[in-house]
Amino acid sequence: MTRTARSSGTAVRTGRPGLRGSDVPLVEAYDLAVLDLDGVVYVGPDAVPGAAQALARARTVGMGVAFVTNNASRPPQTVVDHLLRLGVEAQPADVVTSAQVAARLLAARLPAGSAVLVVGGEGLRLALTEEGLAPVGSMEDGPVAVVQGFGPDVGWRLLAEGARAVRSGLPWVATNLDLTVPTAHGPAPGNGALVAAVATAAGRGPDEVAGKPAPGSFLEAARRHGSRRPLVVGDRLDTDLEGAVNASMDGLVVLTGVSTATDLMTCGPEVRPTYVGRDLGALHEPVPPATVEEVAGTTTAVCRAARVRVEPSGIVVAATGDDAVDLLRAGCAAAWTWAAGEVDAVGTHDGAQDRGGSLPGVAGVVAALHGLEPDAPWAR
């Protein structure tokens, strides 16, 4: 429910749904940061500037750190080795992979030692072995289930064996459905594309998906750390932030990865973050709130010096302020309020209206963001 306070005839509401501020740094408000990796801690082989330092400071003040990845091809130790090369402290227990979550799901349902057909790589086989299951590569080995996860060496023969197993009626778990994986040369087919190939041949989709945006990875990270106040930190709305919503956890979206300003302002409630930050440095700062005001029939969203208003043509910038992230927060608060049907076609409050997912015009906000930070990849 949106909270409303009235002062001098002005209704003031926090951005809806979910966008909030914090009077204290997030490292004080939460006991665990559950972090996505690519786009948050590193981009490809290289660290995001300042990420290692921000995480070291978080640990110093007592915040736990966990890493959650949908990449099923790399065992936790391989992920740790990568992080250590970048100056990020990590241990294998800090890393939760979609392969581990899938193996845990299967181990809870199958007798110990059961054979499982693996359509994937070493990370998935190791995860199954650690859960007391027997990874196999052929139907001739008598598998009782199928698990599929990304592996760079997965070829046609293994995909065909997976399709054969799925057609036979064996339960099928996919580690994740990410359609692409990042490479130095741009996006390449991910596990979701390979799962689609098996599904096309087998005539049905997976029975269950283990990784993000399912909540299992986030819940496992919180369980390992005994966390009572976890904060999910990610760059992708459709995996990281949707996963946070599904796990009933607060989420911080950082602008160092794939999500753009347009993505954020036009996204649906199922993927909306609780906070917006430039990078992992946002963990160490109070977060200014974005409030929505109705004054004299005009709906306005404000975040510190940034101010935008809702008009029939869309969201209009009244004042940019001097911080592009503040302007983005204000834009999100206004756009989400508009999309929720809380302002009618001429900008007045109408809480009973439902726009059914229609999107406000945000081009003016995007242009102002680009003017403030023309070199920022997310300002589009």
Q: What are the two backbone dihedrals, phi and then psi, of residue 291, each rounded to the nearest 5 degrees?
A: -110, 155
pLDDT digits (tens, 9 = 90+) for 8-44: 333 333 333 458 999 999 999 999 999 999 999 998 8
pLDDT at 13: 35
- Whether the Cβ atoms of residue 29 and residue 22 lie closer than 8 Å to each other: yes
Cβ of 238: how many Cβ atoms within 10 Å?
A: 18
Mean residue pLDDT of the chain comes to 89
Confidence of residue 175 (pLDDT cuts 50, 70, 90): very high
pLDDT digits (tens, 9 = 90+) for 41-59: 998 889 999 999 999 999 9
Confidence of residue 213 (pLDDT cuts 50, 70, 90): very high
pLDDT over 60 at 7, yes or no: no
Catalytic residue (choose from 23, 31, 36, 326):
36
Q: Lowest-confidence range among 54-68, 173-187, 206-220, 268-282? A: 173-187
Q: What are the two backbone dihedrals, phi and then psi, of residue 370, each rounded to the nearest 5 degrees?
A: -65, -35
User: Facing residues of 43 across strands?
Assistant: 46
Catalytic residue (choose from 38, 250, 326, 344):
38
- Whether the Cβ atoms of residue 311 and residue 317 lie closer than 8 Å to each other: no
pLDDT over 80 at 347, yes or no: no
Annotation says 36 is catalytic: yes
Burial tier of 375 (Cβ tally within 10 Å: 0-12, 13-18, 19+)? exposed
DSSP code of residue 48: P
Q: What is the full DSSP assignment across 4-26?
A: EEEETTEEEEE-SSS---BSS-H
User: Facing residues of 35 across strands?
Assistant: 67, 233
Taking residues 132-157, report their average pLDDT. Answer: 96
The third-level CATH classification (topology) of the domain covering 26-70+213-283 is Rossmann fold (3.40.50)
pLDDT digits (tens, 9 = 90+) for 239-254: 999 999 999 999 999 9
In the block, which residue shows the tokens 């589009």?
380
pLDDT at 342: 54
Class of the CATH-defined domain 99-209: alpha beta
Annotation says 38 is catalytic: yes
Please state at what angle helix 216-225 crosses helix 98-107, rounded to 10 degrees. 90
Task: Return contacts of 305-314, CB within 8 angstroms, 24+ apart.
Answer: 306/330, 308/334, 308/365, 309/334, 309/347, 310/334, 310/337, 310/338, 310/343, 310/347, 310/360, 311/347, 312/345, 312/346, 312/347, 313/361, 314/360, 314/361, 314/362, 314/363, 314/364
- Whether the Cβ atoms of residue 41 and residue 47 lie closer than 8 Å to each other: yes
Taking residues 200-215, report their average pLDDT. Answer: 97
Confidence of residue 351 (pLDDT cuts 50, 70, 90): very low
Domain parsing of the chain, residue ranges:
4-16+288-372, 26-70+213-283, 99-209
Taking residues 84-94, report their average pLDDT. Answer: 97
